[in-house]
Amino acid sequence: MIHPLSLALLAGAAFALAACEADPPSVDTADITAFNAEAARTAALPVTPFNDLPAGTVTYTGAFGSDAAVDGDDSYAILGDMEMTINFGNQDVNGDLSQVNLIQNGTPEQEMDGTLDIDGQAVNGVIDATASGTLTRVDTHFFGEYTSVDLDMNGSVRNDVFVGDAVAGTVSGGSTGSIDTFNLELDGNGNFYGSVVQ
């Protein structure tokens, strides 16, 4: 079941951060709506049978997102870009999650610095990977804060327009470091999707 990102816009909600102090968000509320629709559509696509999996190496581009808690406050979400490459010969998965945006109460707040590297495998088209790295945000006092995260990505290769031309799955996890200056935990209902650029 797809759990859409929260879109509860509070009255008077505004950016808590000055643009000169933090990277402005690379998404808006329309992008949140589009992500929810595409995540649901892609998750409903048929799984590619083992015998129909592509040959060679295929790169899928798309997005990932999830509702989240920051330091125990569950009014947040994250949304970013995904690029995933699967080598069907050795069943290796790599890629990255980038342009990770922090959203609060449905309002995009800032793009966090940092890229999460994807590493894993896709045995018979079943994706089991981890996205790891460090994300840095600017808090309301204009200080940089960082967290090391590991996100579990589990999914499968899907058939969209062509055989094996899409991927979809779930993303979960959060902070792992003992000296992180803020804590990020996904709610367990996050999603990712990607498709082959035609």
- Residue 5 inside a domain? The answer is no
- Predicted TM-score (pTM) of the model is 0.90
Predicted pLDDT at 168 = 98
Is 110 a member of any domain?
yes
pLDDT at 16 exceeding the cut of 50: no
Question: Over 60: is that where the pLDDT of 14 sits?
Answer: no
DSSP the chain: ---PPP--PPTT---SS-TTTSPPPS--HHHHHHHHHHHHHHHTSPBPPGGGPPSSEEEEEEEEEEEEEETTEEEEEEEEEEEEEEETTTTEEEEEEEEEEEEETTEEEEEPB--EEEEEEEETTEEEEEEEEEEEEE-TTS-EEEEEEEEEEEEEEE-SSSTT-EEEEEEEEEE--TT-SS-EEE-S-EEEEEE---
Q: Is residue 47 part of a domain?
A: yes
Section 177-194 average pLDDT: 95
Q: Model confidence at 185, in pLDDT bands (50, 70, 90)?
A: very high
pLDDT at 139: 87
Which residue range is the domain that position 89 belongs to?
29-195
Q: How many domains does the chain have?
A: 1
Confidence class of residue 20 from pLDDT cuts 50, 70 and 90? very low
Q: What is the pLDDT of residue 97?
A: 98
**Structural domain contains residue 1:** no
